[in-house]
Structure 1
Amino acid sequence: MIPSVIGKTFLKTYNEKYNKQFSPKEFFEKEYWELFYNHPKYLQWVTNSPFVQMKKGQKPHLLTEIDRKEKLENLFEKAENEIPDASFALGFPASESKEFASTSGLVSEVLIPVDEDEVYLSWIGSSLGIGVAGGFTILFDDPVITLQTYEGWKVYRKYLNDPVLEKLRGNQINTWNGQWLTYSLNPEDYREDFDFSTLYNHKIFKVDTSLTEVNTVQWSRLFFSLSLQFSQEEMMGYVYGFGQTNKTIGFIPFQFKSGNQIKDVYKQLFGGIYSNPKDFESLFGMHIKRACELGSIGLQALRPDGLKKYMKEDKNLTFKKEEDTINYQAYKTWLVAMLTKNKEEITDYTMDLAKIIQKYRAGGTKLDRKTLIEKELFASPSKKGFIEALTKMIKDLDGGDLLNIKQLKDEVHLMTNEEYGYFCTLLKFDYAFVERQA
């Protein structure tokens, strides 16, 4: 099963780095169990597993070390003598013999021989899953990512054992993995001397009077951090979700170079880097499920979620709020990236056109030009309507403005419908920006 494969990749990398020769069972007992379950607070809660099956009167935080050791021995006994199922082999099907239960996930109908090692590797691999907002988890079969995730386990355990943080919630290992990788793989954020306050300031934790817990990271923020480490790579990820009904999306390619492409376009359009990277990067990315439906996660999947309504409806930014400017920069960055993804040169062509259109509107004495621009030009769902609106404008233009609008007509005619949608929305935003500055 997939978690076992990830666990195997990790264990090989771990043994090489730390000069060990641990078998899966040895690592499970000496490292994994000690970190995850030999404490009053668990790192992970696996339903129906030996670690959560309590005798009468038992509760996890009241277990003695002898009690916890007994549960470990119960797992050993099952792994050695029973056919693996989801109660003690993570990612395996439930124990129904005739058909898979709705709580089974990551399951294949192909009969694959398994041994005891696969059971322990499945626990290790499952705990390396990276939780993201939307209720899904991602597994990457990559040595660097798995080892870095493991390093984060020790940090989470340290905080759970800290008496000052007694309200910190356990059982959030996958959620923690997402935040840890996003933070620790981003050299712009990561500090060797970080502490809980540092991570709280990065919005990794949510703290209130009764509970402290790990916030779930947006997949786009994780994506941007990974793109710094794997700037030109495409990596296969396995996307799934565990819950009352498990969900398996499957293998999805992650095109990390798209993250750097977004940053490069922003730099060329607006100069430098954005002032608040976390908030800015959070604007990008549709829902993870919608992103996976595209077949790969790259530039198109990074479409800012708030942009869709401006592309489908007769709406525009007003620039009356500070957030409108931030949204404008994010939306424009993505639209320009989509329009220039196969071109070497990035130009701010639509801004020049927006100035011509704004100048045209300002030259009118009535509302007819404003209506033409807002209700016909930008509101047109098709290239035909857009070109017809440009044709109406031409009679009132001359000189360089006339030549530019005529050239625009020809260029729009050659655009695909998809390109036209991006272009028209971008021009509409630039026009609103110029209008606000006028």
Structure 2
Amino acid sequence: MIAATIGKTFLKTFNEKTGKNYSAKEFFEMEYFECFYNHPKYMQWVTNSPFVQMKAGQKPELLKSNERKEKLNDLHNKIDEGECDASIAIGFPASELKEFATTSGLVTDITSTTEKDDIYFSWIGGGLGVGVAGGYSIYFDEPEILFDIYKGWHEYRNLLNDSSLHSMRGNQINTWNGQWLSLYYNKYFREDFDFTHLQNRNAISVSEKLIEVNTINWSDLFFEISNKYSKKTVIGYVYSLGQTNKTLGFFPFYFEKAETLKKYYTVLFGEQAAISEAKDYQSLFGIHVKRACELGSIGLQALEPKDLRKYFGNDSNLKLLKPKTGNDEEKNIKSLQKDYENIITYRTYKTWLLAMITKNKEESLEYTAEVAKALHEYRDKASKNDRKNLIDKELLSAKSKKQFLDALVAIVKEVEQDSLQVFKTLRDKVHLMSAEDFGYFVVLLKFDYAYAERERN
């Protein structure tokens, strides 16, 4: 099972980096059990495992040290007896004999042998999954990432053992792993981070009754990992273990694509904006993790910004007009914040669309803005709304190149001589575009048209 494979990859790296020579069982006893289970609050809850099977009157938080060791010995005994269902080995199928197998898929009746070490490896690997929003986790088959996840185990344990955080929720190790990697790979990571810092990053949420780790969006994690692996492709296994186990499969994560988007944002809007607005624009990237996996790889296409598709093939557009301010200061602050969010959305959409247009990217950076300006000049010379409607309802709402070019013909017939070349060049460019590139191009032009209107008012 993949958890065992991940555990093997990690332990090899761990032994190399620490100078230890632990076997899987030794690591499980000396490191894993001591960190995960030998405390009043567990870091991981494995259904039906010896660690969660309580005798009458027992509760995990009330167990004594000798009782926790007894449960460890129960696990050892079951492994020695050859048991290896889902309650004993992480990610394995549930027991047919105990009629738990409704949670299992692709179960075979072919007899196979499971080494005892593989079971311990599966536990180790089970603690290295990275939880992301959408109910899924990821195993990254990359030794350095796995070792960095391990570094975060003790940070989570410290939070659980902190007497001032008595309502801190346990059993969130995979969720914590995602937040830890995001924190650890951040360019401004500090070894002396504190609880307040975690709250400010929205890694932790606090209510009257509970403190818990928030699940990170896969795209936010993607950008942070790219800080360290900007030129690397890492294979990730996307899965969900629960009432029903789900496997989406193995996918390449192209972390260099995050750097591509950062580069375009910097070129378009300046280095200072790319740095100061990073948290805001990066949070807009990324479709649902399940949909991302359906694409076959995690890269530029999977990073499509939220809600972008609703602007394709219709006359919907971003609202980018400058807000009007008055004497109500509180209302002014809200209006300015909303305006900032609209501008970040525009910049995020433009960055991704430009990155997706496959030909002449560098040449295209300001091209749509120039065309948008020419369209406004054409529109302003009309006394009625016919030109405005032609642009909004036909040209920028076109679902195909033919519809776009038909609308463009009508514009060319009326345009002034000094703007004629702009539209003829536009016609030639669109004619040579692929259908996919055209789809991105016309939406980008629509957004630049909306932004140009903002600048003219």
TM-score, normalisation: structure 1: 0.96
CA distance in 2, matches of 1:220, 1:108: 36
1:185-200 to structure 2, matched below 5 A, reads 185-187=185-187, 189-200=188-199
Query: Which deviates further from its counterpart, 328-337 or 403-412?
Result: 403-412
1:59-98 to structure 2, matched below 5 A, reads 59-96=59-96
For 2:433, the equivalent position in structure 1 comes to 415
Query: Is the CA contact (8 Å cut-off) linking 2:401 and 2:431 kept in structure 1?
Result: yes
CA distance in 2, matches of 1:402, 1:422: 24
> Which stretches in structure 1 are left out of the alignment for 5+ residues?
none
For 1:316, the equivalent position in structure 2 comes to 317
Q: Is residue 225 of structure 2 the alignment partner of residue 226 of structure 1?
A: yes
Give the match's secondary structure for 2:239.
Answer: strand
- TM-aligned CA distance change 1:334 to 1:102, over 3 Å: farther
Query: Which deviates further from its counterpart, 319-328 or 301-310?
Result: 319-328
1:77-226 to structure 2, matched below 5 A, reads 77-96=77-96, 101-104=101-104, 113-187=113-187, 189-226=188-225
CA distance in 1, matches of 2:121, 2:27: 9
Query: Is the CA contact (8 Å cut-off) linking 1:91 and 1:105 kept in structure 2?
Result: no
Query: Is the CA contact (8 Å cut-off) linking 2:43 and 2:157 kept in structure 1?
Result: yes
Query: Is the CA contact (8 Å cut-off) linking 2:280 and 2:344 kept in structure 1?
Result: no
The offset of 1:422, in angstroms, is 0.3
Give the match's secondary structure for 1:391.
Answer: helix
For 1:335, the equivalent position in structure 2 comes to 353
The offset of 1:396, in angstroms, is 2.3
- TM-aligned CA distance change 1:121 to 1:106, over 3 Å: farther
1:18-97 to structure 2, matched below 5 A, reads 18-96=18-96
CA distance in 2, matches of 1:197, 1:342: 46
Aligned residues: 437
CA distance in 2, matches of 1:289, 1:256: 18
For 1:8, the equivalent position in structure 2 comes to 8
Query: Is the CA contact (8 Å cut-off) linking 2:3 and 2:126 kept in structure 1?
Result: yes
For 2:399, the equivalent position in structure 1 comes to 381
The offset of 1:215, in angstroms, is 0.5
Identity over aligned pairs, percent: 56
RMSD: 1.8
1:150-182 deviation line (CA, Å, top 9, x unaligned): 000000000100001111100000000001001
Query: Is the CA contact (8 Å cut-off) linking 2:285 and 2:303 kept in structure 1?
Result: yes
CA distance in 2, matches of 1:432, 1:361: 13
Give the match's secondary structure for 1:229.
Answer: coil
The offset of 1:410, in angstroms, is 1.4
- TM-aligned CA distance change 1:107 to 1:144, over 3 Å: farther
Letter paired with 1:352: E
The offset of 1:3, in angstroms, is 0.5
Give the match's secondary structure for 1:376.
Answer: helix
The offset of 1:109, in angstroms, is 8.0
Query: Is the CA contact (8 Å cut-off) linking 1:268 and 1:346 kept in structure 2?
Result: no
Query: Is the CA contact (8 Å cut-off) linking 2:261 and 2:352 kept in structure 1?
Result: yes
Query: Is the CA contact (8 Å cut-off) linking 1:91 and 1:106 kept in structure 2?
Result: no
CA distance in 2, matches of 1:39, 1:60: 9
> Which stretches in structure 2 are left out of the alignment for 5+ residues?
322-337
CA distance in 2, matches of 1:108, 1:156: 38
For 1:359, the equivalent position in structure 2 comes to 377
Give the match's secondary structure for 1:254.
Answer: strand
- TM-aligned CA distance change 1:175 to 1:270, over 3 Å: same
CA distance in 1, matches of 2:63, 2:423: 76
CA distance in 2, matches of 1:376, 1:89: 60
Query: Is the CA contact (8 Å cut-off) linking 1:91 and 1:104 kept in structure 2?
Result: no
Query: Is the CA contact (8 Å cut-off) linking 1:92 and 1:106 kept in structure 2?
Result: no
1:267-346 to structure 2, matched below 5 A, reads 267-272=266-271, 273-320=274-321, 321-322=338-339, 323-340=341-358, 343=361
The offset of 1:399, in angstroms, is 4.0
- TM-aligned CA distance change 1:31 to 1:346, over 3 Å: farther
Query: Which deviates further from its counterpart, 268-277 or 56-65?
Result: 268-277
Query: Which deviates further from its counterpart, 197-206 or 93-102?
Result: 93-102
CA distance in 1, matches of 2:201, 2:313: 34
CA distance in 1, matches of 2:393, 2:400: 13
CA distance in 1, matches of 2:109, 2:270: 53
